Amino acid sequence: MHEYCILSDADKVQVKNLQDISIRSYHILGYLTVQKDGYVSLSFNQKDMYNLITQHRKKKVKGSDANAAISYLRGKAGDDSYFFGKYTLSNVNRLEKLFWADRTSHIDYEYFGNVLTFASTYNRNVYNKLLIFSGSNHHGQTIIFGCGLLFLNEDISLYKWLLQTFLEIIGNKHPRLVVTDKHLSMREVIKQVYPYAIYRLYAWHLHRNACEKVKNYGFLNDFKELIYVNASVEEFEVKQRHMVEKYNLSSNYWADQTYELRYLWALAHLRNQFFGQIGTAS
């Protein structure tokens, strides 16, 4: 059985240099394979090399890419009086967090900012976490109000900075309704920064979690119906109890936690609030 180890210093230098000149990862692996007379002669596997490339990219973000982003924001601000960019640096002079919004975003929020949506991607790109502030216009099209990047691990203070910065650039106009995922840190900071906003969870996020936590096709259909059922709170409770009994979920932790948050996702509890269909699609 072939034993793998980490890349040698010489291999690391080659991989980084080739990646810096935009050689694709699988081409780099192929080059090293030929260089060492075959895949079985490699002292590392594909995952080892890809992990090294990912780490290398993240380090570049903290250096040249970050400087380029800041320079770009400064240039845009000079050309557009409505453009806003703000960032903070760590105690070792590395970029911590970044926020920007342009003229179109500012104007769109003035007209359509009653409902605010937060969508985030975590560990899906080399910048760690991207947070998008968005909404919907009168045609039902998604519009962007602003974007933020976090370069450090998740922390309530980082979210709070982004939300407060967003509030600053749009003249302290608070959203009436906020739609986001089930992330506990995000829920807490929303309550602090937008204390009077009505909060709703994404239906698609709930449905995705249901697919992971309860692997039963019949349950997924019944749970989706429970989200959208046009019923009174009392009728909703009856349907919910019946679903729990039907699928034997009385001791299921996810089901219990989701039920506790029912007032944030069930139409029966939100039927008097208009979200413009934002966050309702599953």
As a three-state string, the secondary structure of the chain is CCCCCCCCHHHHHHHHHHHHCCCCHHHHHHHHHHHCCCHHHCCCCHHHHHHHHHHHHHHHHHHHHHHHHHHHHHHHHHHCCCCEEEEEECCCCCEEEEEEECHHHHHHHHHHCCEEEEEEEECCCCCCEEEEEEEECCCCCEEEEEEEEECCCCCHHHHHHHHHHHHHHCCCCCCCEEEECCCHHHHHHHHHHCCCCEEEECHHHHHHHHHHHCCCHHHHHHHHHHHHCCCCHHHHHHHHHHHHHHCCCCCCHHHHHHHHCHHHCCHHHHCCCCCCCCCCCC
pTM of the predicted protein model: 0.65
pLDDT at 212: 82
pLDDT tens digits, one per residue of 106-124: 899 999 988 888 766 544 5
CB atoms within 10 A of CB 22: 6
- Is the model's pLDDT at 245 over the cut of 90? yes
- C-alpha to C-alpha distance for 277 and 117, rounded to whole angstroms: 11
Q: How confident is the model at residue 182 (pLDDT cuts 50, 70, 90)?
A: low
Q: Which residues pair with 119 in a beta bridge?
A: 132
Mean pLDDT confidence for 160-189: 82
Mean pLDDT confidence for 246-270: 89
CB atoms within 10 A of CB 169: 20
| Domains, the chain | 9-60 (no CATH), 65-201 (3.30.420), 203-269 (no CATH)
- C-alpha to C-alpha distance for 111 and 173, rounded to whole angstroms: 11
Phi and psi torsions of 150, nearest 5°: -115, 130
Q: How confident is the model at residue 238 (pLDDT cuts 50, 70, 90)?
A: very high
pLDDT at 60: 58
Q: How many alpha carbons fall within 13 Å on the CB side of residue 245? A: 6
pLDDT at 93: 66
- The answer to whether the CB of 179 falls within 8 A of the CB of 274 is no
- Is the model's pLDDT at 66 over the cut of 70? no
